A and B are shown apart, each in its own frame.
Chain A
């Protein structure tokens, strides 16, 4: 099932807000999870698992470290779901 970039971004915003308490308005494509949003390593695991459940994709552990920004995650999920 194809997912639009906008849908995935909206979903990630909800997840990051739920998990880490970052206001959705601050979560943009160019934001770095660690440096800009201060999502720590444990919370990042929660974000990944929640994304997998929500978007029906698999995000392998070795890929997680490559997802530095919100945009990286959006692109990975859109491609994985295509």
Chain B
């Protein structure tokens, strides 16, 4: 049997820039910011008064009765999965034993957990919802999508903080590659805009405190960057085995060519300044996909807008790609979406698929003064045309704990 190849046949998203992939992508190309001042009173508790909430509330996209037993992260997963499934042509008659789901979350149903703790304290144990556990478990988003589609090949949830979404897609890729499934609904979601997680990130000095200009706060690679902006939402891709996708006449966006996974063994939260683990992950991803640095024309960077992280990543990219980094258009889309934690690697993979399809690398906004320590080719302010012919792109994602995930996509 020839080697199994994995392709993308559907996309879905709900993001701070739009209720679906099309509106998000248009806003991204236009360089819009999804960051807003929070309207909740609790923002006054925090040094940070802004975040990137989804552009469209799940309440406008699903039924009330369905929503009330789902954590917000699970709502995002269902909204994005329904769009992706439909985009893939709603292949409902496929063998369910060959259908899997791999959807990640960085933190899980943290808002449910905290809300129910308030209920417990105010009303006693009887006041705690019987849906509490299914809502707060990190595998809840994947499980609910799996239930809806009756997936029976396996439902999984890799957790690696902000690398979770990318790790999920890599896991799905492996499942198809290794013949465990023919079609997988995969991605990542996060719903953690709440005073407690925000206070935790703020205590680490990880969040920007640019309260006087929230839309300028997420500024990867800018000299005055001061932290990330918390976002919410999620992205979902339908991955499919190439021959079976062709056989059913599916629209094929591109190929998931390979992945590279490493860990730093360095620090629980700080990036290794040499980015050694990142470099190895890039090499592994290229090797696994049979690509060379010459083939890579675009990269969607992790670039969260933290002082240490952006430079460590940029250095690692320069070292891993060498002179070929000069022809890699690097986009830091968190400048517009904020940082979706476990959803980040997923929406950024959606963006890469769109970039390969439309041959356009999205811009990075808010760079007023490029940090001179950044020696990679950053796409600034307006989209950049990508070359014709066979091209490939990388998505890198890193998570607290020292997790490094690099995914390789190539045109077909």
Interface residues of A (CB under 8 A from B): 19-21, 41-43, 45-46, 49, 52
Contacts and interface: CB of A to CB of B under 8 A. Distances in A.
Contacts of A49: 126-127
Interface in B116-170: 126-127, 129-131, 134
A49 to B, nearest CB: 6
Interface residues of B, number: 12
A46 B65 contact: no
A21 B126 contact: no
A74 to B, nearest CB: 21
Contact of B130 (A20, A45, A52): A45
B265 to A, nearest CB: 42
Nearest to B131: A42
Contacts of A20: 65
B63 interface: yes
Contacts of B127: 49
Contacts of A42: 69, 130-131, 134
A21 B130 contact: no
Given A19-B68, A20-B65, A52-B126, 14 more contacts: A19-B65, A21-B63, A21-B65, A21-B66, A41-B130, A42-B69, A42-B131, A42-B134, A43-B69, A45-B130, A46-B129, A46-B130, A46-B131, A49-B127
A73 B126 CA distance: 19
Contacts of B65: 19-21
A52 B63 CA distance: 26
Interface of B: 63-66, 68-69, 126-127, 129-131, 134
Nearest to A45: B130
Contacts of B131: 42, 46
Question: Top 5 A-B pairs ranked by shortest CB distance?
Answer: A21-B65, A45-B130, A42-B130, A42-B131, A49-B126
Contacts of B68: 19
A43 B69 CA distance: 9
B299 to A, nearest CB: 45
A45 B126 CA distance: 10
Contacts of B126: 49, 52
B64 to A, nearest CB: 7
A13 to B, nearest CB: 15
B18 to A, nearest CB: 28
B129 A21 contact: no
13 contacts: A20-B65, A21-B63, A21-B65, A21-B66, A41-B130, A42-B131, A42-B134, A43-B69, A45-B130, A46-B129, A46-B130, A49-B126, A49-B127
Contacts of A45: 130
Contacts of A46: 129-131
A32 B325 CA distance: 67
Nearest to B65: A21
B132 to A, nearest CB: 10
B16 to A, nearest CB: 29
Contacts of A19: 65, 68
Nearest to B63: A21
A52 B127 CA distance: 11
A14 to B, nearest CB: 13
Nearest to B68: A19
A21 B64 contact: yes
B127 to A, nearest CB: 8
B133 to A, nearest CB: 10
